[in-house]
């Protein structure tokens, strides 16, 4: 582990951050009582960075991702995405921001079962009212290696192929930030590598920002920086770690 | 969003099958009612059999000419029934569509969340659901219309030469009526889908990430407020079912249960769990695990259970109270007939009666057109000799004096006087069937005697003058001392027999109306019940398979579903029974106050039949898909 300092400067401090979290807290209230899932997280994600978030189960990783993407409102603190403050935006503005600036890939249930692969990929464009060009859809499908499967439905694809469709769908709008929550959680290592390679390419080639949550040190090693989350607080980070270094840091954290 | 709607509908065909069937049947009934109405409008009776009169006007209405048909060849009875059938079909369609669409939305929460995640605005989601409703509704409405067109000749053949339309009806041009039916069907479907669409719009993108969210535990304050409002309204109407309301009690008895059903349906998520707990007591005591599992499932998902219970509650309450009310009405009519007739013997034929037999009350039936400010109606009347009729029947005037019934005068029943606000001394303009107009002065108001005496009594001379060919249909006899009328006159019967026959006629008439009105509603409700329970079970595929994985045997799961659907059915039926009993008690009190010895006829067979049918349908349509799912899938499918 290289650093455990309480402040986390962005990797490329010269540019305005793509995503800025400032003092995020999140408390879930339910009949069973209140849970502090996040207890004050401040971090700047630099433009074009690939960041992995790791931590024990229940440490607040998914909550962090959801608050950062404006899917959930933090209890306090501000989120700024590409210069737009997300707090207090209305649902429609937030939706438009989401479909233009963000891409999502999750562990499962990423696709609409009733639509073909082509239609799933074209959906975000259709929702903005644009008529998707066949060539554009074809291009992104080619990028993820699924050019022959445009007419299939999700049920006719393997898990890894479905994840690649989800990535193609996220790519087509050229979002500035990708959010992925355990995108390889249910895949074998070969397929995982393919998915992570695609995300890596997005940052390297197009300068897009990627934030992924993962349990897998091999997956985390694709990122230039790994953030460790513990009990709703950032507990440290590791830059350009190898899988074994990351695994060691994780087991330190879980002790 | 329309293209998306089309795709999702074809994908979720089974999810929308229910809505499709419900709406197709609704439009079928609407379409039939419309084409048949068109046929009755197209029917032109012989012009000679009508009288044209001019209404009085006044109170902002100008006098107008109206043609009153006087022959029996009149189709207005059928028109009334058809319009009621149409209204009921439209009304139930809204409910069924609303509930099936709510189901469809609830079971696709995750998918809708995903749509929101990739950038659909709440408005787009709403439009998508409405678009789906439109696709389903359009196909269903067209199907229903085609079916209606095919069935119209059959219906018209059945309806021709009946009490309601004693003429031959021919199909008229179907385009306009069917277009109306399709239009109403679409409108009603969109209205029904609106709340589902609004709920879908509230699904957030985060719902795509959560496990199939359990339904929100609380019901909205708006729903509670509306439920309580409907409840208060129904209770107010219930208090109106009392003797002083007079003739209004019967419509009240039919209308109030519908309001109560709406109130209870709105409040059901609060009410259903409590009643389920009660009913579950014996269940959990008798069964080992399936009973208590069933109980938790019903109690823990109050909204789902409530929507499963709603159609059963609706039909059992509405049909139950209608059947019971009409039966009690017939009881009271029977008692009225008995109390209205004093003569011990009735002669029904046209036998010649010797004056030595005793006092013969030979009233002459006739009809005239009564003219109002804004309408004119054909009325039944009887020409009587007031001195004799006052002895053979109960005609003691409530006000006025029957002795004054001479010349251009009339005595009217209490019902007619309160309905039309007539007072002693008022003059009623009438036109007799020979087209002479006259003004009849009201001299007395007599008790209602439905089945014995019509609403208008005029002097016998007047009847002979304006209806010279009219003959008595039945004569009431007070035998002279020592004369055996029954033995000497063939067509003479004891009054009790005649009364029984009259009452039987009333019951038969009621039955006919009941079948015409409730038939389509019951048919439709049956579909709705089967629909909701079928969809309810189909939705639980994953749950059933997971239970199998955990070691439950197919038989255990089937038993659980059996108990669950029985529990829901029992809860709905107990609420329906509560409504039926309340309405029954109130209407009985209202109709029989001031009468002695009124028979109590409870049509147990019909009532139990309704309950049994509801329960069988509910259990059957919950079990069938369960069995199907269990047979089709292995436990390993849960992992997929
Ligand atoms: N909707 C919710 N309501 C109440 N508590 C919640 C909710 N979602 C998450 N939590 C709680 O918040 C905490 C953080 O949850 P979160 O899902 O962010 O964890 P995580 O780090 O993603 O865990 P995992 O690695 O298991 O996915 C946990 O204690 C969890 O129980
Ligand atoms: Mg998580």
Q: Are strands A177-181 and A225-230 parallel, antiparallel or unpaired?
A: unpaired
Q: Confidence band (pLDDT; 50, 70, 90) for B207?
A: confident
Dist. CA A206 → ligand 2 center (Å): 28
Q: Decide if the complex's ipTM is over 0.90.
A: no
B190-204: pLDDT as tens digits: 887 888 888 888 888
The answer, yes or no, to whether residue A5 has pLDDT greater than 60, is: no
Continuous segment of H or E residues that includes residue B176: helix B175-201
Q: Confidence band (pLDDT; 50, 70, 90) for A6?
A: very low
Residue A129 domain flag: yes
* Averaged pLDDT, B396-424: 88
Q: Name the residue among B115, B124, B204 with its Cβ closest to that of A112.
A: B115
Percentage above 90 pLDDT, chain B: 14
Neighbours of B44 (CB within 10 A): 7
- Sign of the Cα pseudo-torsion (B96, B266, B324, B245, in order): negative
Which range of residues forms the domain containing residue A124?
19-253
Beta bridge pairs of residue A39: A25
The answer, yes or no, to whether residue A54 has pLDDT greater than 90, is: yes
DSSP-based three-state secondary structure for A227:
strand
What confidence score (pLDDT) does residue B492 get?
A: 85
Q: Name the residue among A95, A115, A126 with its Cβ closest to that of B121.
A: A95
Contact call for B110 and A66, based on CB within 8 A = no
Residue A135 domain flag: yes
* Averaged pLDDT, B359-365: 88
Continuous segment of H or E residues that includes residue B265: helix B249-286
Cα separations in angstroms, B148 against A112, A219, B142, B143, B181: 37, 63, 10, 9, 10
Q: Confidence band (pLDDT; 50, 70, 90) for A8?
A: very low
The answer, yes or no, to whether residue B130 has pLDDT greater than 60, is: yes
Measured from the alpha carbon of residue A59, the closest ligand is 1
What confidence score (pLDDT) does residue B72 get?
A: 59
Residue A1 domain flag: no
The answer, yes or no, to whether residue B469 has pLDDT greater than 80, is: yes
The model carries a pTM of 0.70
Say which residue the tokens 């709603």 belong to. B310
Q: Chain B contact for A11, CB < 8 A?
A: no
What confidence score (pLDDT) does residue B638 get?
A: 45
Distance CA B566, CA B366 (A): 56
Residue A6 domain flag: no
Which atom of ligand 1 lies at the shortest distance from residue A59's CA?
21
Residue A8 domain flag: no
Dist. CA B8 → ligand 2 center (Å): 29
Distance CA B230, CA A28 (A): 37
Find the range with the poorest average confidence among A32-46, A55-69, B43-57.
Answer: B43-57
Q: Chain B residues with CB inside 8 Å of A115's CB?
A: 4, 7
What confidence score (pLDDT) does residue A3 get?
A: 40
Q: Confidence band (pLDDT; 50, 70, 90) for B458?
A: very high
Distance CA A18, CA A15 (A): 9
What confidence score (pLDDT) does residue A157 get?
A: 87
B22-37: pLDDT as tens digits: 888 888 988 888 888 8
* Averaged pLDDT, B228-232: 94
Q: Confidence band (pLDDT; 50, 70, 90) for A184?
A: confident
Q: Confidence band (pLDDT; 50, 70, 90) for A7?
A: very low
Continuous segment of H or E residues that includes residue B387: helix B386-392
Report B:104-123 residues touching A (Cβ under 8 A): 110-111, 114-123
A60 lines ligand 1 (CB under 6 A): yes
Q: Are strands B376-384 and B409-413 parallel, antiparallel or unpaired?
A: unpaired
Q: Confidence band (pLDDT; 50, 70, 90) for B583?
A: very high
What confidence score (pLDDT) does residue B156 get?
A: 82
Q: What's B119's DSSP letter?
A: T
Distance CA B579, CA B313 (A): 10
Looking at chain B, the number of H-run helices and the number of E-run strands are: 18, 13
- Which ranges constitute the DSSP H helices of B287-363? 290-300, 302-340
Distance to chain B for A228, nearest Cα, Å = 22
Percentage above 90 pLDDT, chain A: 32
Report A:125-154 residues touching B (Cβ under 8 A): 126-128
Q: Chain A contact for B465, CB < 8 A?
A: no
Q: Chain B contact for A97, CB < 8 A?
A: no
- Name the closest residue on chain B to residue A123, using Cα atoms: B118
Distance CA A56, CA A183 (A): 17
Distance CA B75, CA B10 (A): 44
Q: Confidence band (pLDDT; 50, 70, 90) for B624?
A: confident
Higher-confidence residue: B2 or B309? B309
Distance CA B38, CA B436 (A): 34
Higher-confidence residue: B376 or B212? B376
Neighbours of B88 (CB within 10 A): 21
A61 lines ligand 1 (CB under 6 A): yes
Three-state SS across B566-615? HHHHHHHHHHHHHHHHHHHHHHHHHHHCCCCCCCCCCCHHHHHHHHHHHH
Residue A7 domain flag: no
* Averaged pLDDT, B94-116: 78
Q: Are strands B409-413 and B437-446 parallel, antiparallel or unpaired?
A: parallel
Going by alpha carbons, the residue nearest to atom 29 of ligand 1 is A58
Distance CA A196, CA A190 (A): 10
Say which residue the tokens 């355990």 belong to. A182
Say which residue the tokens 């339309």 belong to. B165
**Mutant choice from A98, A121, A167 vs B, greatest count of B C-beta within 10 A:** A98
Going by alpha carbons, the residue nearest to atom 16 of ligand 1 is A60
A118-134: pLDDT as tens digits: 988 988 888 887 888 88
Contact call for B206 and A109, based on CB within 8 A = no
Q: Name the residue among B10, B11, B205 with its Cβ closest to that of A71.
A: B205
Higher-confidence residue: B162 or A159? A159
Residue A168 domain flag: yes
Higher-confidence residue: A229 or B549? A229
Dist. CA A183 → ligand 2 center (Å): 11
A238-251: pLDDT as tens digits: 998 899 999 998 88
Which atom of ligand 1 lies at the shortest distance from residue A182's CA?
27
Find the range with the poorest average confidence among A59-68, B71-80, B511-520, B534-543.
Answer: B71-80
Q: How many domains does chain A fold into?
A: 1
C-beta separation of B601 from B330 below 8 A: yes
**Which CATH number characterizes residue A50's domain?**
3.40.50.300
């Amino acid at each position: 582990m290289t650093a455990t300092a309480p402040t986390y400067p962005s990797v490329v401090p010269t540019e305005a951050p793509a995503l800025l979290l400032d003092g995020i807290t999140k408390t879930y209230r339910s009949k069973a009582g209140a849970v502090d899932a996040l207890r004050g997280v401040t971090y700047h994600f630099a433009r074009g960075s690939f960041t992995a978030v790791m931590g024990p189960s229940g440490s607040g990783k998914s909550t962090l991702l959801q608050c950062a993407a404006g899917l959930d409102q933090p209890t306090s603190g501000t989120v700024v995405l590409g210069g737009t403050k997300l707090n207090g935006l209305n649902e429609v503005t937030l939706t438009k921001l989401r479909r233009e600036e963000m891409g999502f890939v999750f562990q499962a249930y990423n696709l609409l079962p009733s639509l073909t692969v082509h239609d799933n990929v074209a959906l975000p464009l259709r929702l903005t009212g644009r008529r998707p060009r066949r060539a554009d859809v074809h291009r992104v499908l080619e990028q993820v290696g699924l050019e022959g499967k445009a007419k299939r439905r999700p049920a006719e694809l393997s898990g890894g192929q479905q994840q690649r469709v989800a990535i193609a769908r996220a790519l087509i709008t050229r979002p500035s930030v990708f959010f992925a929550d355990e995108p390889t959680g249910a895949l074998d290592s070969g397929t995982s590598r393919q998915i992570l390679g695609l995300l890596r390419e997005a940052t390297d080639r197009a300068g897009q920002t990627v934030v992924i949550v993962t349990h897998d040190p091999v997956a985390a090693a694709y990122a230039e920086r790994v953030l460790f989350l513990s009990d709703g607080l950032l507990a440290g980070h590791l830059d350009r770690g190898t899988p074994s270094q990351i695994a060691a840091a994780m087991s330190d954290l879980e002790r | 969003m329309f293209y998306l709607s089309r795709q999702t509908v074809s994908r979720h065909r089974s999810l929308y099958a229910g809505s499709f069937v419900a709406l197709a049947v609704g439009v079928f009934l609407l379409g039939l009612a419309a084409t048949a109405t068109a046929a009755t409008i197209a029917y032109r009776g012989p012009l000679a059999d009508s009288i044209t009169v001019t209404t009085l006007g006044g109170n902002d209405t100008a006098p107008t000419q109206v043609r009153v048909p006087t022959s029996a060849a009149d189709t207005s009875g059928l028109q009334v029934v058809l319009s009621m059938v149409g209204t009921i079909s439209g009304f139930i369609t809204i409910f069924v569509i609303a509930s099936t669409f709510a189901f469809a939305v609830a079971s696709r929460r995750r998918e809708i969340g995903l749509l929101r995640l990739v950038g659909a605005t709440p408005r787009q989601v709403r439009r998508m659901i409405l678009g789906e409703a439109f696709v389903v509704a359009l196909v269903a409405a067209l199907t229903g219309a085609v079916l209606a067109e095919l069935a119209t000749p059959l219906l018209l053949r059945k309806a021709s030469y009946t009490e309601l339309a004693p003429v031959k009806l021919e199909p008229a041009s179907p385009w306009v009526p069917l277009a109306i039916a399709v239009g109403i069907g679409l409108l009603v479907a969109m209205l029904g889908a609106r709340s589902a669409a609004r709920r879908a719009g509230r699904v957030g993108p985060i719902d795509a990430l959560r496990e199939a969210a359990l339904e929100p535990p609380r019901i909205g304050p708006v729903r509670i407020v509306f439920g309580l409002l409907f409840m208060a309204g129904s209770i107010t109407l219930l208090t109106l079912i009392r003797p002083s309301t007079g003739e209004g009690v019967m419509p009240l008895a039919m209308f109030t249960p519908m309001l109560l059903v709406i109130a209870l349906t709105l409040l059901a998520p609060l009410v259903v769990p409590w009643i389920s707990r009660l009913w579950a007591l014996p269940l959990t005591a008798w069964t080992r695990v399936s009973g208590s599992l069933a109980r938790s499932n019903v109690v823990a998902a109050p909204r789902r259970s409530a929507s499963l219970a709603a159609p059963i509650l609706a039909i059992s309450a509405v049909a139950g109270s209608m059947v019971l009310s009409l039966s009690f009405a017939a009881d009271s009519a029977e008692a009225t007939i008995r109390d209205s007739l004093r003569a011990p013997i009735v002669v029904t034929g046209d036998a010649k009666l010797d004056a030595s037999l005793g006092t013969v009350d030979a009233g002459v039936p006739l009809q005239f057109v009564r003219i109002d400010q804004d309408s004119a109606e054909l009325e039944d009347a009887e020409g009587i000799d007031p001195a004799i009729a006052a002895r053979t029947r109960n005609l003691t005037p409530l006000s006025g004096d029957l002795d004054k019934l001479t010349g251009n005068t009339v005595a009217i029943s209490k019902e007619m006087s309160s309905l039309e606000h007539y007072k002693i001394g008022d003059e009623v303009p009438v036109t007799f069937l020979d087209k002479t107009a006259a003004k009849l002065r009201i001299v007395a108001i007599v008790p209602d005697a439905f089945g014995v005496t019509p609403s208008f009594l005029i002097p016998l001379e007047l009847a002979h003058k304006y209806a010279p060919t009219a003959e008595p249909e039945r004569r009431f006899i007070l035998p002279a001392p020592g004369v055996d009328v029954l033995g000497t006159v063939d067509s003479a019967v004891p009054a009790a027999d005649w009364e029984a026959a009259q009452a039987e006629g009333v019951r038969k008439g009621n039955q006919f109306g009941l079948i015409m009105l409730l038939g389509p509603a019951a048919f439709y409700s049956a579909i709705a019940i089967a629909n909701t329970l079928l969809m309810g079970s189909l939705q639980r595929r994953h749950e059933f398979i997971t239970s199998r994985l955990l070691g439950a045997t197919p038989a255990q799961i089937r038993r659980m579903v059996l108990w669950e659907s029985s529990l829901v059915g029992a809860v709905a039926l107990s609420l329906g029974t509560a409504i039926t009993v309340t309405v029954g008690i109130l209407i009985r009190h209202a109709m029989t106050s001031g009468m002695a010895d009124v028979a109590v006829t409870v049509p147990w067979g019909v009532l139990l039949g309704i309950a049994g049918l509801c329960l069988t349908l509910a259990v059957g349509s919950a079990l069938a898909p369960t069995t199907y799912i269990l047979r089709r899938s292995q436990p390993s499918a849960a992992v997929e």
